[in-house]
Structure 1
C-alpha cells in the first residue's frame, strides 16, 4: 500500500515517497544484478520459510516460520526477531505497514499479532484479540502509526478488525463467506478493500466491517494473493498459474503456466507475481512473461521498487 490513490499491499513507496523509497535500497545489502536485470540470490540469516516482505521508513523487513523477522540493513539481511511477538515461536504468515511507513504489523499462528516501531525499535504484542488463538494468515493496516485500522484474515474464515490500533477491547469480527480460510487481505483506503478465501471467492468492503461477494464465477483454482488498488482495479493470484484482474466490469483471466502463484502486485502499469518452484512473472501492462530465477524454492511474496525483492522457502531472498 502506498498512499490512498495507489494503496497496494506491498508497494515499495508506501507513504514514504519516491525519493525516500529509492534510499531504502542503498548500501551493501543490494544484490548484484545480471545484465538481463534478473533476480539473484542474496545471503539470508535464516533457513526458515519467509512468507512476506514489506518496506518501511527504516528499510525492508521479511517475516516467516518460527516467528522470524529479518531486517535489510546496509550490511545485508539481519535477524531482528526470533520467536514472534510473544516469543513462543509462532510462525508469522503476513505483514503490512502503516501509511507513514513507521510501524510494521505482522500476524501468524496461534493468534499472534505484533506491531513493531521501526524507528524506535519497540515491539508491541497484540496477540490473541478477543482471546482468539486461531491462525491468522494475513494483515492489512491503514492510517498512521499509533492510529491504524487493523484488518486480520483468519484461517477459520473470520475477518478481525480494530479501528483503534489493535488496542485491547477494540476488536470485532465478521464471517464474510462460507467459513473457508481467508488467505489474503488488502485495503486501498481506510475502510475499503478486498479479501480472497479458500472457496475461490473474492469479497469487498466499503466500511471495513461488512463484506459482499465480487466473484469469481467458474474459477477452478484456489486464490492466494490479492492486490487491491480500487473498486475497479483488483488483482488476484492463485493455483494453476492463474492471475485475474477486475477492471470494474469483468474479471480478465491470464494463464502463466501451472505453478501456484502466492502473491501479486501491480501498480502504474507494471507488476509481478511469484510462486512455486521459484517462478517469477513480470507484467508489462498487457501480458505476463516469465523471468528466470536462480532458485527452485517456492516463492511466497514479492516487493516491487527500484530493487525488487522476493522471499520464500528455505529462507530464500532474491533481489534484482
Structure 2
C-alpha cells in the first residue's frame, strides 16, 4: 500500500533489538494549515484501500467497486470486481511505474487494471484457490510485475510472471493465522503481518522468517516498510511499532484500532476506527481533526492526502 514513487523497502532477518517507548505527541487535534474535508463519492459501499497511480488516485471496496479521483470528482470505473461477481475488494497496490493497479478480495478475486484505458485483466482464483485475499503487493513495471497476495487462510500466494496462469505458488509463513497485510520494498524482498501478532520477512519472495514482534498485545493490520532499518507496523489498541535496525519502538496513540499506515521520513499518516487520523512529524504522532466518525480503512499520501472507509467515505487534505 504505497505511493508508486516511494522507494521500495527491506527488512533484516531475525528477531533482534529491544523495545523502547516512543515519544508520542499530544492526543489533541494538531493545528495545521491543511484541513481534512469530505469528498462526495458515487457509492455507499465501504472502501477498503486507496492507491496513487500515474493516472491519479483510485479506491477499491465492497461489491467489487473501483473509484477514480478525477479533476471533476470521484467516478465509478468498475462494478463487480475483476470477475463481475460482486466480490468485495480489500487491498490494492500499484506497479513501480504507476501504470497498473492491482486489487484483491473475496472468493479469490485478483484483478489488474490499466489505469489509463481502465481495462481489467482477471487473475482470480490462482490454481483454483477461492479463499479471501486481504492485501496485495506488486513490484516491477506493468506487464512484468511480481505479485504477492495475502491470504485469509494464512498463505501468501505469489507469481513472478505478472500473475499469468500456471505461474502461481504459495507458502505458509506462520501458524496459519490470516495474513492481514503485505508490503514489498524490492523485487522479492518485503514483509507481512498476520493475525497471530507476528511479523515475517522474506528476501526471495517465497520463504519467510519471523522477525517479531515479541510481547505485542494487539493484532497487526498494516505494514509499511521503507528500508531494512525503517519499518512501520500498525494495529489494534492504537499501537504503532517502528523498527530502526536495532530495536522496536512502540507508540500508543489511543484506543482506536489502526487499519493503515504510510510513512516517509519524518512525515506519516495512520488511520483507523471512528474516523481517527494520526499524523507524524519530528515531534511524534498527533491526532488530527477530521470531518467523519466513520471507520477509516486505507490512506495514501501525496499532493493530496486521501483516506477512505465505511459508507463510501473519502476525506482529503
- Structure 2 length-normalised TM: 0.91
Whole-Å separation in 2 of the counterparts to 1:89 and 1:155: 18
Unmatched tracts of structure 2, length 5 or more? 10-30
1:46 and 2:43 matched: yes
Among 234, 248, 264, the residue aligned to 1:267? 264
Contact 1:4 1:188 in 2 (8 A): no
Q: How does 1:215-254 map to 2 (within 5 A)?
A: 215-254=212-251
Shift of 1:5: 7.1
Shift of 1:4: 8.7
Q: How does 1:183-194 map to 2 (within 5 A)?
A: 183-194=180-191
Q: How does 1:1-320 map to 2 (within 5 A)?
A: 1=2, 6-7=7-8, 36-320=33-317
> Secondary structure of 1:114's match?
strand
1:229-280 CA deviation, whole Å, 9 max, x = no partner?
1221110000000000011111100010000000001002210000000000
Contact 1:162 1:170 in 2 (8 A): yes
1:5-59 CA deviation, whole Å, 9 max, x = no partner?
7227xxxxxxxxxxxxxxxxxxxxxxxxx97412110101100000000011111
Alpha-carbon distance change, 275 to 2 in structure 1, aligned in 2, over 3 angstroms:
closer
Shift of 1:315: 0.3
- Structure 1 length-normalised TM: 0.90
Contact 1:4 1:189 in 2 (8 A): no
Alpha-carbon distance change, 119 to 7 in structure 1, aligned in 2, over 3 angstroms:
same
Contact 1:193 1:230 in 2 (8 A): no
Whole-Å separation in 2 of the counterparts to 1:318 and 1:256: 20
Unmatched tracts of structure 1, length 5 or more? 9-33
Alpha-carbon distance change, 190 to 2 in structure 1, aligned in 2, over 3 angstroms:
farther
Alpha-carbon distance change, 2 to 41 in structure 1, aligned in 2, over 3 angstroms:
closer
1:148-189 CA deviation, whole Å, 9 max, x = no partner?
000000000000000000000000000000000000000011
Whole-Å separation in 1 of the counterparts to 2:282 and 2:224: 15
Shift of 1:3: 6.8
1:176-222 CA deviation, whole Å, 9 max, x = no partner?
00000000000011111010000000000011100001101010100
Contact 1:63 1:92 in 2 (8 A): yes
Aligned-residue RMSD, C-alpha: 1.4
Shift of 1:2: 5.2
1:67-112 CA deviation, whole Å, 9 max, x = no partner?
0000111110000011000000000000000000000000000000
> Secondary structure of 1:110's match?
helix
